[in-house]
Structure formats: C-alpha cells, structure tokens
Structure 1
Amino acid sequence: MGMHGYAYAAATIAVFFCIIHFFHRRLCCKHPLLTDYPILGMLPQLLYNLCHIHDFFTQILKLHGGTGEFTGPWFTNMDYLVTIDPLNVHHVLSKSFHNYVKGPLFRDIFQAFGDGIFTADSQPWKYNRDLFHSLFKRKGFEVFLEKTIHNKVRSSLAPVLDSLHQQGCVVDLQDVFNRFTFDNICSVVLGNDPNCLSVDFPDVAIEKAFNQAEEGIFYRHVVPRCVWKLQKLLQIGQEKKMTKACKTLDQFIHTCIASKREDQRKYKENEKAEADDHVDLLTSLMREEAHEDKFLRDAVFNLFVAGRDTITSALTWFFWLVATNPIAEVKILEELKDKFGNMNEKSSPGVLNVEEVKKLVYLHGAICESLRLFPPIPFEFKQAIEADVLPSGHGVDAGETILFSLYAMGRCKEIWGEDCSEFKPERWISQKGGMVYVPSYKFIAFNAGPRTCLGKDLSFIQMKMVAAFILSNYCVQVVEDFVATTNLSIVLLMNYGLKVRITKRGN
C-alpha cells in the first residue's frame, strides 16, 4: 500500500470514529440545552450570545424546564449539567454535600485563589472554615468592622460625594464603591488603608489587578481548557494579562505579610500581655498559629474577593434599582425618618451603627431583592464524586460537573411568582412587618448548606450602613439614556460602570 493508500485509510478511520463519537454524544446527551454541532458542540451558540450570557441562559433554561446539558467541543472537558431547580440545588449543596466537591477542574480554573477556602475541599476546607468562623465571631471584631466603616465613610466617602455634588459632573458610582470597598477590605484584612477613594480618584495598580484576574478566570470558563492552557504556556492573550495581574497581586500581598511579620516580631519583643481583639484579620491569623506565607497569601486573596467585589456588585445594582424605582426609594427614606428622624438635618450627618441598621427591615428587603435579581456571584458549579440521580430525575455520572445559574434562579417564576422580574422589596416583608424567611436553596446569593457564606451577616451590616448614609444625605440620579448591562467576569458587575449625578438631599 502506497502513501496515498495509508492516508486514505487513516482519514476513513478518523471520519468513522468521529461519526461514532458524534452519535454517541447525541445518545448520551438526553436533555440538550442548545444545538450540538459536530466537533464544536454547543460552544458556538454560547460564544455568539456571550455579551448577554446570563439572560441567554435564563431563557434557555426556562424553555427546558430548568435543567439540561451543555456539551463543549469534543475532548475539551467542557460538559456540564446546568440547573436552576431548587430541589436539585438543595440536593447537591446540602443533602448530598459530601458527594459534590469543587474538584480539580475548579481549582485549575480558579488557580489565582490558591488553596484558600473557596477552592478547598474536605479537611482543608473544614480547617479554613473553622478558622475564619472563629475570627469573625471573635469578641470585638464586629466593633472593629463598624469603626472601620465609620472612619471610611466620614474620611473618604462623604468628602468625595460632597465634591461630586459641588462639581455637578457625571461619575461612575460603581468605581466609587470599588474604591470604597477596596480601602475597607484593606483596612479589615491588612490594617492598612491605601486611600483609593479620594477626590482625585488616583490610579491604583493593585485594584486594577484584581479586576483583571477575575476577568481572566471568567475567560477560562468559556473557552476550551486546551486553548487557555496553551495561551498560558505561550503567555499570550488573556492569560498573559492574568499572569501579570497575579504577579502584581502576589507582590502586594507578600509585602504586606512580610510587614506584618516584622510587626509581630516587635510585638513579641515588647512582651504585650494582652492580645487586642480590635485588630485586622491578617494579624489575627498570625497570632492564631504559625502559618506559612503561602497559606496567608491564599487566605488574604480569598478574603479580598469575598469582601470587596461582592459588596461592590451588591451596592452598585442596589442603587441602580432604587434610583430607577422611586417608590422603593421613598419607602426606604420613610423608614429611616421613622426610626431615626431627619438624619440630613444634622450639621454632621452620622453613620448608623450595627444595632441601628438591624432595625431597617424595608432596607434589608430591598437589598435582598437586589441580590435576588443580581447575585454578585452569578454561577456556581460542583463536581460529583460518585454517580447520582437528582430530584428532577436527571442522572449524574461520577466526575460530572453540575452548574447552577444563580442569576437565572432569581428570575424563575416557579420560585418567585409571576412578578419575578420586578424589583419588589415587599416580597421579603411579612404582614406583621418582619422578614420573610426564604430557604437558602431558593435564594442562594450567599450559597447554601455547609458552604453558606460565613460573612453573610457582616455583608448586610456593611451594605445597610453605606446605603442608609448615602440615601439619607444624597440623591443618586442615573443619567438619561443609561443602559445597565452585565460584565463578563466571575463577579456580576456593571459593564462600563453606573453613570450617575450626585446631589445633596434637601431637608
């Protein structure tokens, strides 16, 4: 047989194999969400609709009863079972928690997170969770957090908003929140305020590096693993940007760790007898036990993402919804006036404390409603250890990945009713004026089951303190013709920011 004969035989075998593989996929994929193209799978439709991916998947999942299969290009390990069925969510995140893990693929995609609490499984995860739980519940930490927010609002947020009012210019409110939360999380975690939020809006490389790293992680979700792995090896495209961003982040974090170690050395030399409860989390971690630098680096990175981007996202979407729903704004202001009088009549308007914001039921409901429609983390996925069957009847193979769309769940009428697309804080308030309980597997903005966010209560405290201060003292007006769109990142921020004008609220 000549060379042409061998080539023809090889091509024939390859075509035959591809046909068999194609029909095998068709037979195995019993609940396809999209058209499964030969070789490319369902990726073409995903990429075509990437600019509005969350709304696209919301519509697709509704058409398929809430659960279906997504298959990526052949041999790329991009096959997912996607669901918004709350019973499936409850099964995976709670009832069968030990059978579903983050898994090696998740850790590979979220490499920047290291071995921190968000990527860890089994015993390492439990150790991290118990450690952070003890820090958050420590006597004085809530007081430390409250003091930090008060200082940041008075020293930075108020002057910036006053300056914007005087200038009468358009500002990106999301950028304001990004800077505020970055300064705040630096103070809480590192004990150091970088002063990103000031009237001159300085460029801060570390703040931009976090954004770039998160965009890179999202990119890894929507392109085949072999593609981004190759880009990482060659240091081109999005992976080059991500490598540079992670290097900037690591340098910043390791510098902070070295500085803290020196502070701890001096602390021991001074032989202080009593430990101060009102200290930053990195100091607390170092005092807890002798952790290696890598553990501290991963802990700091995970705390930064949890305490910065999620709060920025929540506040941005909240203020956009309130500004575009004036009735809700009026009710929030009425509640503030009813509880605390005319706060803006004071010569130096203050910030509410922890106990005071806990009294704001309608504001709490409005924030919950914002989180329902725009969850800061729009999707979550888990990997099955052993084969399983979900409550919906869908089978799960060992090693298969299940993806939850939190964004789509917030727009599911089977969960929230026919008015699920409306911003309606009243759905969270009972006839007696208390909060309506919604199971976490239906409202999973803070995850559900054993992995429920440890900082949930702290997050609500921060958001309500900031929201109450701004709304009682300033009017936030969205610029005419502004259209809010979601960005492409692992955290649901606004694409191009939130363009508004700030004016002082009259008496």
Structure 2
Amino acid sequence: MAFWFLPELLIPILVVLLVVLSLHIKSTRSKNSLPPPQNWPIAGILPSLVVNLHRLHDYIAAVLPSTGNSFMAPIASTTRFFVTCDPANVQHVFTSNHANYPKGEEFAQIFDVTSGSLFTADGESSRRLRARYQSVLSSPRLLASMANCCHDKVEKGLLPFMARMARTGAPLDINDVVSRLVFDLYATTVLGVDPCRLSLLDMPPMQVADAMDTVMEVGFVRHIVPLFCWKLMRCLMVGPERRLAAAQGVLRRFTLEMVERRRKTVCSIGRLEENEEEQQARVTSSSVVDILSNYVNDPEYYENDDHLLQATLITYMIAGRDTIGTTLPWVFYNLAKNPHVVLGIRNKLAPIASTRKAAAPFDAGAMMVFEPEELKPLVYLQASLLESMRLYPPIPIEREIMVSSDVMPSGHEVRAGDIVIISLYSMGRMEDLWGPDCQEYNPERWLSKDGGKLRHVPSHKFLAFNSGPRMCLGKDIAISQMKTIVAAVLWNFDVVGVLLDGQQAVEPKLSCLLQMKNGLKLKVQKREM
C-alpha cells in the first residue's frame, strides 16, 4: 500500500527511455550539431541532459551561445529551470535583486548534511551566520596559524614526497596528492587534528575525504533528478542515495569524534588549579589555533545533538578543502601544458630566492618554500591561478530559486518557483567576455598593459568566488595558500609530460565540483639549482 503510486511512474519512465534512445541515435548521426535542447512532453529537456551527461558542462557551454546565453529548460513537466551565463542576469540574481533569489529549501534538502550552516542558509539567518564566519576567519591568530600550517605541510609533506617520487621516476597522481595535502591542511586548521595522509608511504584511502566527494557527487544527481525521484531512492535506500547515507554517516562520526576530543581537552585544561596558571598559559599558547575552538563552547552549536556544530565544521571543510583541492590539479594541468607560463613564474620567483640565499647560508640540496608576504606582489602567479579558475571553476554551476515572478535583464520571464542555473563553466568560455581566444589558457589577460597589476574583473563576470552578499569569505586565504603550494612546486621541480601512455583523457567527473574524473598522472624531476 505504501507504494501505490509506482504504476503511475511507469508511463513517464517508459517515455523518457524511448526519447533517450531516439536522441542517442540522432546524436550519433550528427555529433557536430548542438541545437538547443528539445522540450519533450512530460520529460522536458531531461532526455537531452541524459544523452549529454558525460560532457554536460561542455554541452551547456555549446548550447548557450545559440540561445542568446539563456534558455528556459523544463524538466519532468513540473520543474522549470532557467539556464544562463549572461553577466547581466548574474548581476541581477546575485546583487540587484538578491533577496528574490535564495538558495531555497530544496537546496538545503539536497545538502542536508550541512543543514543549518551558512552553506544552506538564506535571509536573516545567512546574514547572521556570515557575520560569525567572517569574525572567525578574520582572526589574526587564526590567519597566522593557517599560513604556518600551509608552509609546514608543503615543506615537510608535499616537497619530500615529490622528491621521493622524482628519485624513483615513478608517476604520481597530482590529483590524489593535492587532495591529501589539502585534506591534511584543513583537518588541521578546522579541527585541530593532523591526519598526515600525505606523509604516509603507502598512501592509504581517505575515508572521510571520499565521503566528502560522495556528498558532492550525489548532490549533483539530486540537482538534475526530480525531487520525488531521489526522495523515493532515499526512502528505499537504493542507488546513489545508499552511497550518500554511508558517506554522511562517516562525516558525522568523524566530526563528532573531533568535537568530543576537543571538549575533553578543554575540560582537562579547565580543571587546572589556581597555582598552575603558568602551566595553563603554556598549554593555551602552544595549542593549535583552529576554527573548532571558536564554536566548541558555544551553546547554540552543541544543542540538538551537535547537528549544527557538525554541519558547520563540514561546511568549513567543504569551503576550503573542496575548493582548493579541486582547483590545484587543473592549475598544474594547465601549467604542464604551458611551459612558458612556468618560466614566467620562475623568473618572478628568482629575485626572491636570490635574496634569501644572500641573506643566510643555504644548503644547495635543500628545497625552498616561499612566504605569503614574499608572494603577495607576484601578480603573474596569481593571474595563472585565476586563469585556470576561469576555464575550470571549482564549482561549475550555481543554483538559486525564484521567490516572486521576475523579468531578467535578458528579457526572459521567470515565475515563482523556477530554478535558476548559472553556468560558471560557460561564462569562462564566452567570447563576448574573454575574446576570441577564450578557450586558451592565457594568464596575461588578467594583467594591466604594463604587466604590473591585476586587471579588475567584476565578480558578476568571474564568479569563481561568488558575488554580491555571498562573496567568498575565504578568497584571500585560498589564493595565498594556492600561491604558496604552486610556487614551491614550480621552483623545486620540473613537471615532465602531461598525459602518460594509457591514461584516459582528463575530464571532469559528474559532481557539484569540477573534480578530475580519472586523476592526472605526471612525472616530476628535481630541479638543479
């Protein structure tokens, strides 16, 4: 009796399958033809999405120019998507009429493991939480601790590992290496615990990191599958929903363990006698400055079985680990294909290295890690990062929902309840924005004519760090950390080759993040200096 409606689902499912089959046959006959997606009865444009799922972002990027950079996309007859990459529409959604385009309740359900945190919040709740996050991330002690941790991870983890791989001549998967490095970095700075995944010789699987990847992969499925479909799968515990439930369990157990460990530490310090004040001061000053410390004693965050605190910690991990860990492999991919850019970056690093060597004795065999203040003036290095994020934004789409009916600057009428999809991936490939060479990796496009300054690009044209009231709070932290990592690798190592024989093509996986599907295997050689 509980599933009385299942027979009614058979008809639309059969229709979708038949349409998908016909479209597949059609697509094999004319692979170079990319017309706007067909709006089919009942199924809407879902068949077109299914047929092109393996290259969805490229498909949308190819379709949008032929539609004037925006089109309405009904799915399963009950859901309407408005897909756009028009900067005027982006500015309207994120800034001019921001209140009318919240993330919405369905978004909070899609990412229910972060429910209640800034990641899913809207309105007044979002403003209040954002102020708290901003207060935490602006702490000078925390910022210094994060910079020191990044330096330490690069010096004692990343570079020795790469040197070992260079000596053996074995290829390394830079995607996996970066993922481990950034997971270690953010587990340390968010939770105060160092998993040391990168330094272990056998490179064991990362259960928690894999669980975070699963959240984003299944979140992508939830984005494109009608709500009732994925909720039915969740009820039956089948398909991707079964994987997601297991992943959420891993994340909740891990964060709860970290919280309980921290509370025990805080309680043990709190029990020190009055005449032990000096000992307490030593413990406090030597302890790791982390984000968890700002929340662990706040009653608001440990009521309701710690759900909000866990969701908050997972959000911090996602914001840092997933964004930087997704971006850096694409950065190294682009740099490996463009040795002239690597040479340009090294030319800017050379004076810093020379000054260092002249100021203090330097072991010729030692590897060099640059400080954030040293790298701050290196706009060409930053331009190389931004250019990679233009072509491969860590979050390729943004999703908002309409509260009240509206007319977009592009002239499209959108109704209350419509879902707005903004394709960041397509925005980075618009000739109107970036010129006829928009498909090419060219850091110079970010520089002033004399090359001495970064050219200003409004956030509604370059959305990698979001825009308006939702501008990324950790933007400067992320850029600084990426510059530290990239500068150290490029100065100390040569990257040899991009695709090794037998490696599958480098392409994104189906996820809310633009992660590499098959990784990126490279060979490295130690530079002689």
TM-score above 0.5, yes or no: yes
Partner of 1:21: none
Once the 2 structures are TM-superposed, how far is the Cα of residue 34 of structure 1 from its aligned partner? Answer: 1.2
Q: Residues 146-179 of structure 1, C-alpha deviation per residue, up to 9 Å, x if partnerless?
A: 1111111122112211111111112210000000
1:313 aligns with 2:326: yes
Give TM-score, length-normalised by structure 2.
0.87
Once the 2 structures are TM-superposed, how far is the Cα of residue 419 of structure 1 from its aligned partner? Answer: 1.1
Partner of 2:30: none
Question: 1:95-106 counterparts in 2 under 5 A?
Answer: 95-106=96-107
Task: Provide the secondary structure at the position in 1 that maps to 2:494.
Answer: strand
Partner of 2:25: none
Q: Quote the sequence identity (%).
A: 35
Distance 2:89 2:340 in 1: 36
Amino acid of the residue matched to residue 116 of structure 1?
S
Task: Provide the secondary structure at the position in 2 that maps to 1:286.
Answer: coil
Amino acid of the residue matched to residue 354 of structure 1?
P
Which 5+ residue runs of structure 2 have no aligned equivalent? 1-7, 16-34
Residues 66, 83 of structure 1: 8 Å contact kept? yes
Give TM-score, length-normalised by structure 1.
0.90
Distance 1:142 1:434 in 2: 25
Partner of 2:507: 485
Residues 159, 367 of structure 2: 8 Å contact kept? no
Which 5+ residue runs of structure 1 have no aligned equivalent? 1-10, 19-31
Q: Residues 2-40 of structure 1, C-alpha deviation per residue, up to 9 Å, x if partnerless?
A: xxxxxxxxx9xx99xx9xxxxxxxxxxxxx941011221
Partner of 1:340: 353
Residues 141, 278 of structure 1: 8 Å contact kept? no
Question: 1:93-492 counterparts in 2 under 5 A?
Answer: 93-198=94-199, 199-270=201-272, 279-287=289-297, 291-292=301-302, 293-341=306-354, 346-432=364-450, 433-477=452-496, 478-480=498-500, 482=503, 483-492=505-514
Distance 1:358 1:151 in 2: 18
Amino acid of the residue matched to residue 400 of structure 1?
D
Residues 33, 69 of structure 1: 8 Å contact kept? no
Distance 1:390 1:339 in 2: 49
Partner of 2:32: none
Partner of 1:49: 52
Once the 2 structures are TM-superposed, how far is the Cα of residue 287 of structure 1 from its aligned partner? Answer: 4.9
Partner of 1:26: none
Partner of 2:526: 504
Once the 2 structures are TM-superposed, how far is the Cα of residue 288 of structure 1 from its aligned partner? Answer: 5.8
Once the 2 structures are TM-superposed, how far is the Cα of residue 210 of structure 1 from its aligned partner? Answer: 1.3
Change (3 A) 1:55 1:345: farther
Task: Provide the secondary structure at the position in 2 that maps to 1:280.
Answer: coil
Change (3 A) 1:345 1:81: farther
Once the 2 structures are TM-superposed, how far is the Cα of residue 291 of structure 1 from its aligned partner? Answer: 2.2
Distance 1:50 1:421 in 2: 21
Once the 2 structures are TM-superposed, how far is the Cα of residue 213 of structure 1 from its aligned partner? Answer: 1.9
Partner of 1:34: 37
Residues 328, 482 of structure 2: 8 Å contact kept? yes
Distance 1:129 1:350 in 2: 37
Once the 2 structures are TM-superposed, how far is the Cα of residue 67 of structure 1 from its aligned partner? Answer: 0.5
Once the 2 structures are TM-superposed, how far is the Cα of residue 346 of structure 1 from its aligned partner? Answer: 4.2
Distance 2:242 2:288 in 1: 40
Residues 152, 184 of structure 1: 8 Å contact kept? yes
Aligned residue pairs, count: 478
Task: Provide the secondary structure at the position in 1 that maps to 2:301.
Answer: coil
Residues 500, 521 of structure 2: 8 Å contact kept? no
State which drifts further: 179-188 or 282-291: 282-291
Distance 1:225 1:161 in 2: 45
Distance 1:391 1:494 in 2: 34
State which drifts further: 324-333 or 461-470: 324-333
